[in-house]
Amino acid sequence: MNHIEEIKRLASPAPRPQSLAWHNGTLWMGSMESETIYQIDPETWTVIWEVKAPGVPFGMVSIGEELRVLCGETEKDNRIIRRCIPGHGFDTVFKLPCPDDTGSQLGFDGSSLYVSQWYNKVVLQLGIDDQVHKSLSSPHGICGQVFVDKSIYLSTTDSEETNNYFLTQISLSSETATDIAKIPFGARALAFDGQYLWTNDRENHKIVCFKRPV
């Protein structure tokens, strides 16, 4: 199995980049350390806009003209999905608890929201009633998620204490998971810009763009 092929590796605008999303032609990153969401111009690599999150922004995804951000809130680290309106900020009313109060990454297939649970090794599809309608299994713990065409791409690992990470693909038609590449660092989050995939090398404070394996 080959390693991912990096296109570029860039300094994060804030330490410990944790969540990523591609939204309206720009890259959005949530920092675990600053607990802030940053909108990044991918051409100039400058921050266009930023907003403080209501907790640690573990996961993030673009939905229409908005973002959904999975936050760890309170001293008990309750996992809650919030609504962020670019240019305005977080909706103080919208509040969706994660199933079983656990979750790390978010995905969106155009109609349904998906929540991944790292240690349970599952991706959960939520219905319009916000209840779990389907569960998809991963061979490893999940630390990144993004939809591309008819597949879910995941960054996964069996131990976050190592640099043994994988790019795992779940086919939506067969619902089977396959490791398709190795990631030689502790990857957090995944985003897709229409051509390339993005992830975070969190502990080295870098954001990495790489080719989608074919």
Q: Contacts for 85-91 with beta carbons within 8 Å, 24 or more apart? A: 86/23, 86/24, 86/39, 86/49, 87/49, 89/51, 90/51, 90/53, 90/54
Question: 16-47: per-residue pLDDT in tens?
Answer: 999 999 999 999 999 999 999 999 999 999 99
Lowest mean pLDDT among 12-21, 72-81, 162-171, 204-213: 72-81
Look up the CATH number of domain 6-211.
2.120.10.30
The pLDDT assigned to 77 comes to: 82
Residue 76 scores a pLDDT above 90: no
pLDDT mean across residues, the chain? 96
Task: Determine the pLDDT at residue 22.
Answer: 98
Q: What pLDDT is attached to residue 128?
A: 82
Query: How many Å apart are CA 22 and CA 213, to the nearest integer?
Result: 19
Average pLDDT over residues 150-159: 96
Domain boundaries, the chain: 6-211
